[in-house]
Amino acid sequence: MTNEEIRLAGPADVPRVKAVTDAAYHHYIERIGVVPQPMERDHAAAVTEGRVYVTGDPVTGLVVVEERADHLYLDNIAVHPDAQGTGVGGRLLRFVDAHARALGLPEVRLYTNALMWENQKIYPKYGYEVVERRVDGPYDRIHYRKRLG
């Protein structure tokens, strides 16, 4: 597998999916005051359900998606800190768009913590627009959508 390919994750990828997710989100714990939800997800279940796509050998980036009736929900995008700034995240976001289109879905939705300001600079560059800001328990979230034309 080349580093450019994005493929469906398999059971052998679960430890690396967890490691990449933890590495990508760990620095946010102090900033937001709680463990980011992607770090607490059941990665094995998401892989078994066919919702995780990975890139790199070893895995350096991943997305977790969920098909909904009227959109594709991007539950998690994580890039290992060693690979950040190399285009992995952009490739993953373009993959999500293509995946949604292949499923016949008109848009992609996601949210990010309001204190993860880096993300608020990235998503608009890829065509995402803010839909709302909402507090869910300890999480202050900014919700985005991208309409696919």
Residue 74's region, left for phi above 0, alpha for psi from -120 to 50, else beta, is: beta
Asked whether 116 and 73 are in contact (CB, 8 A), the reply is no
Q: How does pLDDT run across 94-107, given as a tens digit for each residue?
A: 999 999 999 999 99
Q: How far is CA 72 from CA 11, 12, 107, in A?
A: 23, 25, 6
Q: How far is CA 86 from CA 9, 92, 99, in A?
A: 21, 12, 22
Q: How does pLDDT run across 12-28, given as a tens digit for each residue?
A: 999 999 999 999 999 99
CA distance 122 to 131: 16
Tokens of 44: 């094995």
Question: What's the confidence (pLDDT) of residue 138?
Answer: 86
